[in-house]
Chains A and B, each alone.
Chain A
Amino acid sequence: MNVIVCVKQVPGTNEVKMNKETNTIIREGIEAIINPFDTYAVEEAVRLKEKTGGKATVLSMGIPSVADLLKETISVGIDEAVLLSDRAFAGSDSLATSYALSMGIRKIGNYDLIICGKQAMDGDTAQVGPGLAEKLGIPHTTYVRKIEEIGEDFIRCQRMTEDGYEVIEMPLPAVITVVKEINEPRLPSLKGKMRAKKTEVNVWTADDIGADKALCGLNGSPTQVVKTFVPEHDVDSEIIGGTPEEQAGTLARKLLSMQFAIEVQEEE
């Protein structure tokens, strides 16, 4: 079984600090990491490969330095790494990203399953998995928490829903996006680290994958960011003092006097 995992480089922290005077973002020593949700996708791909044979390939789109991060995935068992890197990809929204990744996947070829993390930690959109499946013309299932069975030409998996899960069966090739419940990612082995050092990451440009540059990057992106701002978190916090009995009593009275509590009373 040949599996392709799509991963994204994200900032290691989501904390955004603003310089109030200049209204600009303060950025100090933020390291880049592989999107944490994608590490579950990597682990699942390696497990499938180990169980069924075949190859696990990691694919990403980003600046040249992402190649170093991709090597980390080799140290946990990925066989090959491909990075799509080109100025033409700059400014991609989720549609342009889906397109570029789909072209990269077509070039890798001969795949049975594509695994993505459920969403990226920086953007949180969860759009690229389904968008990519559509561009490849293959089915997808999101929020997969377990692969129940996978055969030569089908997969049966559990999709997490708001109140439980669904069992979904679809033919291969297909795309799944996975939640963290699916596995516990392993740590790199010494042997894996050695191999990662020796492995070259394939870096492909838009031309290499035969992508139409009009559909890449900013020009291929229907959405545009017109403004970014740091939300105000101005909360008038009230610390309730007194003995525990007084604290509980005061809090209960305050809440009961609010609108929501009246609704509760009516329901009771």
Chain B
Amino acid sequence: MAGIDIIKDKCVGCRLCVGACPFGAIVMVDKKAEITEACTLCGACVSACKFEAIDFEKGEVANAVDVTKYSGVWVFAEQKDGEPESISYELLGAGRELADARDTELSAVIIGSGLGNACKKLISKGADKVLVVDDESLEKYNDESYSSIFTQLIYKNKPEIVLMGATTYGRSLAPRVASRINTGLTADCTKLEIDPEDGKLLQTRPAFGGNLMATIICPNHRPQMATVRHKVMKELEPDESRTGEIIKPIVEIPGNTLVKVKDMVRTITEMVSLTEADIIVSGGRGMGDPKNFALISELAEVLGGAVGASRATVDAGWIEYNHQVGQTGQTVGPQVYFACGISGAIQHLAGMSSSDTIIAINKNPDAPIFKVADFGIVGDVMEILPLLIKEFKAVLG
């Protein structure tokens, strides 16, 4: 069994470990460090200690596999109506770099119905191989059938790395598959790179609402699985001259699934969905009145963007929950994010601070949103927004 202990003779009582512990699990007793039951065995204290006074016994790892038997980088290509979603291309962009660094092949796995065109597109966007499971019964995403097929493919082909989108489906499929295979899964990675020394996948992700970053490895299990949010990785320019292999693997397609998708309903009628938008215009309580959200929609429309909202406005019933940006809503990363009348509570920042350019318009010069904003306007949104719409309309028509 794993365990951690302070070697009392070596501990000088410097308290470095106390500060390094992310869980407050180290206290000082008689000028020596002591580890409490709140310890999660994360090991942060071990590297912080300059006196080698912390003994960390990791113990035998369960279900370890022979990692040398696994090779290749896989991307789960999500599709809708036979068309790959943009996240699939973003994952291929990230996967391409990893595959090159590992000197191996990049494969896209696509499951659905009527996927002929999709396969070619995936190759033009960086895939060396496309594993396609095309069947009428697989038209709609289904947790049961998709996880069954994906697991079969992993068992048979033994990929080293598997990337999925941190989308509604990806965040359901990935943990189901990882749990069946007994491998590690790291959610919402913002950075993926290969350790130049040992070839392991270094997976960096935000924790505590983005206030802390953690780099995670999966040393003894394969595949190394990670999900990646929208707009975090860059897709490659399509190259029609690229060639690749399209493979139809033999898998057992579950016939009569227990889980049934009865209906799919679209409630968001805007052209651009929040997570995929390049430009988002968000309104907060500073808009004053639900009627004034029309200005938010108008600016979004002029710019070809999507409408976002703060939690306060959703809770007040001004706008639907699907529009909510932030920790309890959606995480977005557009090129430009307009925060109009949003003060910038930490929970809101957690959902949008990875945007490329942030614009804040707020009456209160001390609003926290200005701390993350690239451009700030201290003023009344009701006055600024119409002027801004006019300016953009004049140029964009």
**Which residues of A (237-258) have their CB < 8 Å from a CB of B?**
237-240, 244-245, 247-249, 251-256, 258
Is there an interface contact between A223 and B186, defined as CB atoms closer than 8 Å? yes
CB distance from A180 to the nearest CB of B (A): 6
* A185 contacts chain B at the CB level, 8 A cutoff: no
Q: Report the separation of the CA atoms of residues A239 and B360 in the bound assembly, to the nearest whole angstrom.
A: 9
Known A-B contacts A134-B176, A268-B397; the reply to A231 vs B41 at CB < 8 A is no
Is there an interface contact between B176 and A133, defined as CB atoms closer than 8 Å? yes
Is there an interface contact between B2 and A140, defined as CB atoms closer than 8 Å? no
Considering only CB atoms, which chain A residue lies closest to B65 in the complex?
A222
Is there an interface contact between A127 and B1, defined as CB atoms closer than 8 Å? no
Question: Among the listed stretches B115-123, B238-246, B321-329, which one makes contact with chain A, having 4 or more residues with CB under 8 Å of it?
Answer: B321-329
* A16 contacts chain B at the CB level, 8 A cutoff: yes
**Which residues of A (52-109) have their CB < 8 Å from a CB of B?**
63-64, 87-88, 90-95, 98
* B175 contacts chain A at the CB level, 8 A cutoff: yes
CB distance from A33 to the nearest CB of B (A): 14
Is there an interface contact between A161 and B2, defined as CB atoms closer than 8 Å? no
Residues of A with C-beta under 8 A to B279 = 260, 264
Number of interface residues of A (CB under 8 A): 107
* A171 contacts chain B at the CB level, 8 A cutoff: yes
Is there an interface contact between B188 and A124, defined as CB atoms closer than 8 Å? yes
Which residue of B43, B267, B359 contacts A165 across the interface (Cβ within 8 Å)?
Answer: B267
* B68 contacts chain A at the CB level, 8 A cutoff: no
Is there an interface contact between A122 and B41, defined as CB atoms closer than 8 Å? no
Is there an interface contact between A130 and B172, defined as CB atoms closer than 8 Å? yes
User: Per DSSP, are chain A's interface residues mostly helix, strand or loop, or mixed?
Assistant: mixed
Residues of A with C-beta under 8 A to B291 = none
Is there an interface contact between A139 and B143, defined as CB atoms closer than 8 Å? yes
Q: Report the separation of the CA atoms of residues A256 and B302 in the bound assembly, to the nearest whole angstrom.
A: 13
CB distance from A161 to the nearest CB of B (A): 5
Considering only CB atoms, which chain A residue lies closest to B144 in the complex?
A139
Binary CB contact string for chain A from 107 to 136 against chain B (1 if under 8 A, 0 otherwise): 000000000000001111111111111110
Which residue of A11, A94, A164, A236 contacts B267 across the interface (Cβ within 8 Å)?
Answer: A164
Is there an interface contact between A217 and B304, defined as CB atoms closer than 8 Å? no
Is there an interface contact between A127 and B42, defined as CB atoms closer than 8 Å? no
Residues of B with C-beta under 8 A to A268 = 304, 396-397
* A48 contacts chain B at the CB level, 8 A cutoff: no
Considering only CB atoms, which chain B residue lies closest to A230 in the complex?
B212
Which residue of A19, A170, A240 contacts B259 across the interface (Cβ within 8 Å)?
Answer: A170
Residues of B with C-beta under 8 A to A163 = 266-268, 273, 322
Known A-B contacts A164-B267, A227-B214, A251-B377; the reply to A264 vs B2 at CB < 8 A is no
Considering only CB atoms, which chain A residue lies closest to B19 in the complex?
A24
Residues of B with C-beta under 8 A to A259 = 335
Known A-B contacts A36-B328, A166-B265, A268-B396; the reply to A139 vs B259 at CB < 8 A is yes
CB distance from A217 to the nearest CB of B (A): 6
Is there an interface contact between B260 and A169, defined as CB atoms closer than 8 Å? yes
Number of interface residues of B (CB under 8 A): 117
**Residue of A125, A226, A247 with highest tally of chain B CB at under 10 A:** A226
Is there an interface contact between B322 and A160, defined as CB atoms closer than 8 Å? yes
Which residue of A121, A223, A229, A248 contacts B185 across the interface (Cβ within 8 Å)?
Answer: A223
* B138 contacts chain A at the CB level, 8 A cutoff: no
Considering only CB atoms, which chain B residue lies closest to A213 in the complex?
B1
Q: Report the separation of the CA atoms of residues A170 and B275 in the bound assembly, to the nearest whole angstrom.
A: 28
Question: Among the listed stretches B69-77, B126-134, B365-373, which one makes contact with chain A, having 4 or more residues with CB under 8 Å of it?
Answer: B365-373
* B288 contacts chain A at the CB level, 8 A cutoff: no
* B210 contacts chain A at the CB level, 8 A cutoff: yes
Q: Report the separation of the CA atoms of residues A135 and B21 in the bound assembly, to the nearest whole angstrom.
A: 31
**Which residues of A (178-211) have their CB < 8 Å from a CB of B?**
179-181
Known A-B contacts A24-B19, A142-B168; the reply to A264 vs B378 at CB < 8 A is no
Instruction: Give the interface of B toward A (CB within 8 A).
Output: 1-3, 16, 18-22, 24, 37-44, 48, 58-63, 143-144, 147, 167-168, 171-172, 174-176, 178-180, 182-188, 202, 206-221, 258-268, 273-276, 278-279, 303-304, 321-322, 327-328, 335-336, 346-347, 350, 353, 356-359, 365, 370-380, 383-384, 387-388, 390-392, 395-397
9 contacts between A and B (CB under 8 A): A63-B37, A90-B39, A165-B267, A170-B259, A239-B376, A247-B384, A248-B384, A251-B391, A256-B395
**3 interchain residue pairs of minimum CB distance:** A24-B19, A91-B41, A222-B184
Excluding A14-B209, A93-B184, A163-B267, 11 further A-B contacts by CB distance (< 8 Å) are: A14-B327, A14-B350, A95-B182, A134-B179, A135-B179, A142-B172, A164-B265, A219-B62, A225-B216, A226-B216, A229-B215
